[in-house]
Amino acid sequence: MIHSVSIVNYYNTTPFIYGIKHTNFQSQIQVQLDIPSVCAQKLKNKQVEIGLVPVAILPELQHYHLITDYCIGAVGKVDSVKLFSEKPLEELTHVLLDYQSKTSVTLVQVLNKHFWKKNIHFVPANQGYESLITGATGGVIIGDRTFGLSSYPYQYDLAEEWHKYTQLPFVFACWVSNVELNNQFIESFNKALAYGVNHIEAAVLEQPNSTPNFDPLDYLKNKISYHFDEDKKQALVKFLELMSDL
């Protein structure tokens, strides 16, 4: 049986895609590349059976299974999920929320409610919103669009802020299915993902990124943390708990 899979089309999934392509696991799935919010919607609407989805969607799913030993996470600074602004956090009145995101825009609201405790209005944004980040209006920008982005004097790394207050890593996305999968399939999936994570240098050579002031190898090896370990599972529980109180 071929399973349909939606994967985030950001550079941080390069090792996963490499592992899937360079093992025989590719023959078992049909891959669709999407932005995070679309991955979430497809899994929720059962347009796919498996997704590398933003964890903030989990409470919206009737039935789901966390599969694989891998995720998109960070221990401290992640570099690709930030609140950008012209003024410091204390002076912000509004924050625009990235339309491509689900977890990150929830995270910034969790940080504000439970830790920053500032009087900020959060505004869902549409394509092109980056030009509206000015004065007392900040904006959350995620993914590849953050690479080399240095035009804003204030940049708050949301994974770093989370770690500062909780001493925990953060999980942005994990592999979720809306159907039961057999153990053999999950084992093959894990092996494919492990192969990619263990061959990051080769993955970068196959999928280079030439953005100025961006080191793809450093980003994938030192900023993104791929193993869905016990600390990350604990962090996920904590995030979902704080998120439910928004």
pLDDT tens-place string over residues 47-70:
999 999 999 999 999 899 999 999
Please write the tens of the pLDDT for every residue from 15-39.
999 999 999 899 999 999 999 999 9
Under the banding of pLDDT at 50, 70 and 90, the label for residue 112 is very high
* Residue closest to 73 by CA, chosen among 208, 225, 176, 231: 225
Please write the tens of the pLDDT for every residue from 134-145.
999 999 999 999
What does the alpha-carbon distance between residue 86 and residue 92 come to, in Å, rounded to a whole number? 9
What does the alpha-carbon distance between residue 36 and residue 53 come to, in Å, rounded to a whole number? 6
Q: So what's the pLDDT on residue 101? A: 86
Query: How many Cβ atoms sit within 10 Å of the Cβ of residue 43?
Result: 26
Task: Say yes or no to pLDDT of 103 above 90.
Answer: yes
Q: Which two tokens stand for residue 207?
A: 């999928």
Half-sphere exposure at residue 30, Cβ-oriented, CA atoms within 13 angstroms: 7
**Dihedral over Cα of 138, 114, 223, 227: its sign:** negative
User: So what's the architecture of 81-166 in CATH?
Assistant: 3-Layer(aba) Sandwich (3.40)
Query: How many Cβ atoms sit within 10 Å of the Cβ of residue 153?
Result: 10
Please report, for residues 7, 175, 206, the alpha-carbon distance to residue 23 in angstroms, rounded to integers and kept in the order given.
17, 18, 15
Answer yes or no: pTM beyond 0.75: yes
Q: So what's the pLDDT on residue 1? A: 86
Report the DSSP beta bridge partners of residue 54. Answer: 173
Under the banding of pLDDT at 50, 70 and 90, the label for residue 161 is very high
Task: Say yes or no to pLDDT of 118 above 90.
Answer: yes
158-190 as b/e: b if 16+ CB within 10 A: bbbbbbeebebbbbbbbbbbbeebeeebbebbb
Please write the tens of the pLDDT for every residue from 164-208.
999 999 999 999 999 999 999 999 999 999 999 999 999 999 999
What does the alpha-carbon distance between residue 29 and residue 242 come to, in Å, rounded to a whole number? 35
Q: So what's the pLDDT on residue 207? A: 94
Query: How many Cβ atoms sit within 10 Å of the Cβ of residue 121?
Result: 9
Place of tokens 């439970």: 114
Q: So what's the pLDDT on residue 148? A: 85
Contact between 197 and 79 under an 8 Å Cβ cutoff? The reply is no
Q: What share of the chain has pLDDT > 90, as a percent?
A: 96
**Residues written for the chain:** 246
- Residue 107, sorted as left (phi over 0), alpha (psi -120 to 50) or beta, turns out to be alpha
Under the banding of pLDDT at 50, 70 and 90, the label for residue 150 is confident
Number of helical H runs and strand E runs in the chain: 8, 11
Q: So what's the pLDDT on residue 190? A: 98
19 burial via Cβ count (<10 Å: 0-12, 13-18, 19+)? buried
Task: Say yes or no to pLDDT of 85 above 90.
Answer: yes
Backbone angles phi, psi at 174, to 5 degrees: -140, 165
The CATH number of 3-75+169-243, from 3.40.190.10, 1.10.3720.10, 3.40.640.10, 1.10.287.470, is 3.40.190.10
Q: What is the mean pLDDT of residues 223-240?
A: 98
Mean pLDDT estimate for the chain? 96
What does the alpha-carbon distance between residue 163 and residue 7 come to, in Å, rounded to a whole number? 26
Domain boundaries, the chain: 3-75+169-243, 81-166
